Amino acid sequence: MGLIIHPLKEGKEADDLAMLKCAEDYGAIILTHDKFSNHPGFKEITKRYVVRYEKKKCKQNPDVTNNLGIECKYSFYLDGKSFAAKPTDEDYAKVEQSHKDFEKISPENLSRLSLMELYLHSDICSKIGAPIPEACSTFLDPEMPFPVNFQQFETAAKKSFRQQ
């Protein structure tokens, strides 16, 4: 579903509790490296909805398409869990309810999130001396310094898209 959830409460464990509560209420799968062992009250929820992963190895590889030249391999431990709910699944009603309770992201906000992802990727590239992604070539001048913040990056991108 692609939700971004930010806990309402501050605190060290607020993000864990927000994810676990969302899993409990809506049948959400949590993809994490965390075992949530510091939340014994959610042991059954953790067992049912948490898909753990492990980073196997990362290595330099200039042929990878992410422009950072880093390739990572992961192992996911599904333990019989699925990333999709079928109408016959026990949690299907919870998942259906989540579609009513959580408003879908607008196309404008989805576009802005995609641009923010491109900005973050490009910013990392600019800092480590890697090539800036091709998608930026229409609105960033390689001879100019990289934009210092997302607003500058977004303004340049929007100006370029209006001219096209």
Distance CA 128, CA 125 (A): 5
| pLDDT over 60 at 11, yes or no | yes
For 30-84, the pLDDT digits (tens) are: 988 888 999 999 999 999 999 988 877 777 766 655 556 667 778 888 887 888 8
Closest C-alpha among 160, 155, 106, 110 to residue 135: 160
Closest C-alpha among 141, 139, 145, 142 to residue 158: 139
* Out of 23-27, 58-62, 105-109, least confident range: 58-62
- Mean pLDDT estimate for the chain: 84
Distance CA 44, CA 76 (A): 19
On whether the pTM is more than 0.85, the answer is no
Distance CA 71, CA 26 (A): 34
CA 27 to chain centre: 18
Percentage of residues of the chain with pLDDT beyond 70: 88
